[in-house]
Structure 1
Amino acid sequence: MKGLIQRVSEASVRVDGGVVGEIGKGILLLLGVEKDDSQKSADRLLNKVLSYRIFDDESGKMNLSLKDVDGALLIVSQFTIVADTKKGLRPGFSSGAAPEHGRLLYEYFARQAAELNSKVELGSYGADMKVSLINDGPVTFMLEG
């Protein structure tokens, strides 16, 4: 399981012109599920996302986590995160999860996140989404669970 996290001052997701998820200060997570992923890998990645120290402390150093700053989490499914881009000029998706397996783990991840952080918003799995964000920094990291 892979997640691209971006520290944001705000972010939102639109589907068919309407907002389905929106946050202020926090993390936008673009979540990719691979075919061999499990609830255990989802739990590992979620712990990293919530605990990764990417927010500034009083000295301006990245020492604080999402939990420390009481920030929000916007989770957006994005299968292209798991693409193989090592060869050629076209991405390969053979390591990506089948849609149903991906949906199950995405939904599991979202439920677990909501239990651990009260400020969780979601995109719409499998939909054509329009994501807007203000990347604060910019700060962006690729995490694997």
Structure 2
Amino acid sequence: MGVLAEFKEFAVRGNVIDLAVGVVIGAAFGKIVTALVDNIIMPPIGWLIGGIDFSDWVITLREATVDASGAEVPAVAIGIGAFLNTLVQFVIVAFAIFLLVKFINRLKRKQKEAPAEAPPPAEDVLLLREIRDALKQQAPGERIG
């Protein structure tokens, strides 16, 4: 089997398509969560604790300078605010995935609990049931036949 045929078989398999759809939806969901955290959640938290804009909250290790040739040397800073925003985004996404997995597991559990329909009895079983019922209906001492 050629490499192209193998790749085609791999690419059209159901799991790969499902994975691709999941990645695209996950990327869109990530953008929504980023907007939620950056524009809705963090500004009120920053306002409540003294007007801090978390996206600009940094610890500067070295200020920006200009070297001898006149080129600007950028500042060296630790972006604590950006890290906190990303941490909040992670918690939201992890919680959403947890709820989704919990919902899917509940659906699977309900499917397993649903009783499977019994297959119709075999012909010999039906014949034995008829004999049993006939014996129950006969009077004591009466012969069948």
The structure with the greater share of residues assigned to strand is 1
Same fold, TM exceeding 0.5? no
TM-score, normalised by the number of residues in structure 1: 0.24
Larger radius of gyration: 2
Higher relative contact order (CA 8 A, sep 6+): 1
TM-score, normalised by the number of residues in structure 2: 0.24
The structure with the greater share of residues assigned to helix is 2
